């Protein structure tokens, strides 16, 4: 354990999309060296077992309408612990700079002159899509992808992490045609509005869509549909957060892979 004023250090760490084995080696080293670990709601708690037995573990997760700690409280605890000379790990699901408010935390630390590092993690878009057999880019099908938050849809109040979606609103009129694959975080509760916006701006109703719930974990469920019908599917299967919406022709690769795997299995059998 570290002691003395001015010796503290903060690691803003991406824990990955849910599977604890997807954590980076550098992130594990930071967890093992930490005096204080502040962890979010979507962090796999198995990762906490890698910390020192004497390390303080502080839950600061946010769910819609239920915050264990406000963002200001989290940042104050990070700063105070670092000023006490402690090594602090701020452990966040996915990547800390992708809808993780890691940038805000880095700015707060920098403003106080506290040394810190940012350790990237596999963001949910990449991890969950890959675990579902959906390439975000695919030669001849998709040459670009974009990640966007669905919590800024018309009528949305909070995102998946319980935070206000804020402004400006997502420019669906541009996203409908600007990229080949669209990955939407925190959008399940606003799926009908997202669908309507994209259709209104010319996205074809036949566009393939995947819903991925609890990606990369043992609880993962993946369903495919079309933009015109996806809201009905989501209601039928009772999709819930954490979940991603993937929109674009690359979703069809999942079905192609499944068909080839069935063919290979039948040949072996």
pLDDT at 157: 40
62 belongs to the catalytic site? yes
**164 pLDDT tier (thresholds 50, 70, 90):** very low
Given 79, 105, 122, which residue is the final one in a domain?
A: 122
Asked whether 2 and 88 are in contact (CB, 8 A), the reply is no
DSSP calls for the chain? ---STT--EEEEEE-BSS-GGGS-HHHHHHHHH-SEEEE-TTS-GGGGGGS-TTSEEEE--EETTEESS-HHHHHHHHHHHHHTT-EEEEEESB-TTSSS-HHHHHHHHHHTT--EEEE----HHHHHHHHTT--SSBTTTBS-EEEEEGGGSTT--B-TTS-B--SSPP-HHHHHHH-SEEEEES-GGGHHHHHHHHHHTT--TT-EEEEEESTTSTT-EEEEEETTTHHHHHHHHT--SSEEEEESGGGHHHHHHHHHHHHHHHHH-
Angle, CA of 208, 99 and 68, to the nearest 5°: 120
**Model pLDDT, residue 162:** 41
In a domain, 177, yes or no: yes
Please give the pLDDT value at position 6.
57
Tens digit of each residue's pLDDT (9 = 90 or more) over 32-66: 999 999 999 999 999 999 999 999 999 998 776 66
pLDDT tens by residue, 213-246 = 999 999 999 999 999 999 999 999 999 999 999 9
Mean pLDDT computed over every residue of the chain: 91
**The pLDDT value given to residue 265:** 84
Scanning the structure block, which residue is given the tokens 């495919």? 224
- Does the residue 260 lie in any domain? no
Residue 165: band (very low, low, confident or very high) from pLDDT cuts 50, 70, 90: very low
CATH number at residue 114: 3.40.1010.10
**Binning pLDDT at 50, 70 and 90, where does residue 188 land?**
very high
Q: Which one is catalytic: 86, 92, 161, 186?
A: 186
Could you tell me if 23 and 113 lie in one domain?
yes
Backbone angles phi, psi at 142, to 5 degrees: -140, 120
User: Residue 268 falls within a domain, yes or no?
Assistant: no
Residue 72 annotated in active site = no
Q: Which residue has the tokens 């991603």?
A: 244
Find the catalytic residue in 35, 40, 161, 180. 40
251 found inside a domain? yes
Q: How many CB atoms lie within 10 A of CB 207?
A: 19
Of 64, 87, 122, the one marking the end of a domain is 122
pLDDT at 242: 93
Looking at the structure, tell me whether residues 175 and 226 fall in a common domain: yes
101 and 17, same domain (yes or no): yes
pLDDT over 90 for what percent of the chain?
A: 82
- Choose the catalytic residue: 62, 86, 92, 203: 62
Measured CA to CA, the distance from residue 82 to residue 72 in angstroms comes to 15
Mean predicted confidence (pLDDT) in 240-257? 96
Cα angle at 129 between 125 and 130, to 5 degrees? 120
Confidence of residue 267 (pLDDT cuts 50, 70, 90): confident
Counting the structural domains of the chain, the total is 2
Domain span holding position 97: 9-122
Same domain (yes/no): 79, 130:
no
Whether residue 157 sits in one domain with residue 136: yes
Average pLDDT over residues 105-109: 98
Q: What is the average pLDDT across 78-97?
A: 97
Q: Around Cβ 1, how many Cβ atoms within 10 Å? A: 12
Res 5 pLDDT > 60: no
User: According to the model, what pLDDT value does residue 268 have?
Assistant: 79
Q: Tell which phi-psi region holds residue 113, choosing left (phi > 0), alpha (psi between -120 and 50) or beta.
A: left
Residue 163 pLDDT more than 60?
no
């Amino acid at each position: 354990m570290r002691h003395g004023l001015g010796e503290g250090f903060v690691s803003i760490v991406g824990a990955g999309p849910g599977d604890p084995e997807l954590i980076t080696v550098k992130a594990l080293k930071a967890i093992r060296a930490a005096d204080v670990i502040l962890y979010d709601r979507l962090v796999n708690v198995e990762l906490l077992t890698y910390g020192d037995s004497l390390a303080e573990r502080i839950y600061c997760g946010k769910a819609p309408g239920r915050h264990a700690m406000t963002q200001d409280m989290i940042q104050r605890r990070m700063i105070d612990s670092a000023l006490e000379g402690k090594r602090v790990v701020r452990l966040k699901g996915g990547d800390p700079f992708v809808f993780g408010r890691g940038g805000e935390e880095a700015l707060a630390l920098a403003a106080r002159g506290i040394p810190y590092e940012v350790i990237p993690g596999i963001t949910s878009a990449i991890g969950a899509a890959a675990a579902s057999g959906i390439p975000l880019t695919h030669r001849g099908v998709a040459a670009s992808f974009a990640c966007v938050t669905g919590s800024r849809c018309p009528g949305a109040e909070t995102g998946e992490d319980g935070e206000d979606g804020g402004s400006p609103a997502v420019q669906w009129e541009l996203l409908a045609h600007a990229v080949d694959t669209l990955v939407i975080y925190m959008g399940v509760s606003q799926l009908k509005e997202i669908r309507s916006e994209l259709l209104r701006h010319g996205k074809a109703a036949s566009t393939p869509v995947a819903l991925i719930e609890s990606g990369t974990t043992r609880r993962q469920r993946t369903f495919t549909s079309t933009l015109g019908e996806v809201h009905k599917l989501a209601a039928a299967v009772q999709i819930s957060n954490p979940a991603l919406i993937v929109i674009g022709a690359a979703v069809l690769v999942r079905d192609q892979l499944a068909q080839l795997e069935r063919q290979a299995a039948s040949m072996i059998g």
